[in-house]
Amino acid sequence: MRQPMDEVVPRIWLCGVRNWLTTDAVTKVIFTTSWDLLTSTANRCVTETFKTVVRQTGVVHNWPHLAYHEVTALLCLPHLAWSLVALENYSVAVMSSSKAERVKKYSTKDVFGYFSNVKDPDTGELILRPQDVRRNAANFIIAGSDTTASSVAATFFYLSHDPTAYAKVAQEVRSAFESASTIKAGPILNNCVCLRAAINEALRMAPAAPQPLWREAEAGGCVVDGDLIQASLNVGAGIFSLQHNVDAFPDPYKYDIERWIIDPRKGEVKEKERIKEMSRSWAPFFVGSR
């Protein structure tokens, strides 16, 4: 069925807005400066570049040999060539304006300032070469903006299709805070269990990184689920499959915020144990220290 344009256009616009919003926020945190995508049209194509790079990364993750054969990769994925150059240019631009901020205000502290000035304690020399700083800058922008944008979009998408969950979350947030302008990070927000459940469930159903994140077995190999994996072999579990495992998440394709909320009728201790066990299969940020 064709949708009327007045419904389609705001949706397309909203898709852009969430990317602009999170890219502005993430670049501010990391570089103190931003492209002001929300208020200026000048650099909005930056988010298109990110989207292309993320798609290509998804392909290369599942076809890792491409990464070692640049010519084949560029032939198979011609978009890769221009998007990598564009990404490089965007990273250089944001780094220069971040440096300019530091000249204006010496006390400016941000993530970029820290990692570009890390020195070897023995020699006093900078650890990261300029090209490493550039690559890390690009990684940070993409790692932070696209993931957050997709997760925000997924949460709104599922909530807008589930009036009961939406009403529960809205009621909780509206009774916790007096007005929209008083909403801020802290204990009150952390106590919004329905909101947290809505976000967890969206991250479960639509993980921003759904693919397997391969890990190489170290010397001596490792045992996974009773099977010996020999050293130097790669192993990985797709996050999407893990988070749709029916044993851990009954009715896994249903957006159900209740699975994350303690049901007092079933006993608090038992419910806490159930959620703890279920959380072992929830890994949108993957597992371990990273």
List residues binding ligand HEM (CB under 6 A): 26, 29, 139-140, 143-144, 147-148, 151, 208-209, 213, 284-286, 290
Nearest distance, CB of residue 222 and ligand HEM, angstroms = 16
SS (H, E, C) 17-68: HHHHHHHHHHHHHHHCCCCCCCCCCCCCCHHHHHHHHHHHHHHHHHCHHHHH
Q: 23 vs 83, which CB is nearer to ligand HEM?
A: 23
Distance CA 19, CA 153 (A): 9
Q: Is 229 helix (H, G, I), strand (E, B) or coil?
A: strand
Residue nearest to ligand HEM (CB): 144
Structure token pair of residue 179: 């007005």
Least spacing, CB of residue 220 vs ligand HEM, in Å? 21
Q: Of 170, 195, 173, which is closest to residue 183 (Cα–Cα)?
A: 173
> What's the min distance (Å) between Cβ of 2 and ligand HEM?
34
**Closer residue to ligand HEM (CB): 83 or 148:** 148
Nearer to ligand HEM, 110 or 256 (CB): 110
The residue (of 83 and 284) whose beta carbon lies closer to ligand HEM is 284
Contacts of 201 by beta carbon, 8 Å cutoff, 6+ apart: 158, 255, 256, 257, 259, 260
Q: Which is nearer to ligand HEM, 165 or 237 (CB)?
A: 237
CB of 25 to ligand HEM, least distance (A): 8
Cβ 139 to ligand HEM, closest distance in Å?
6
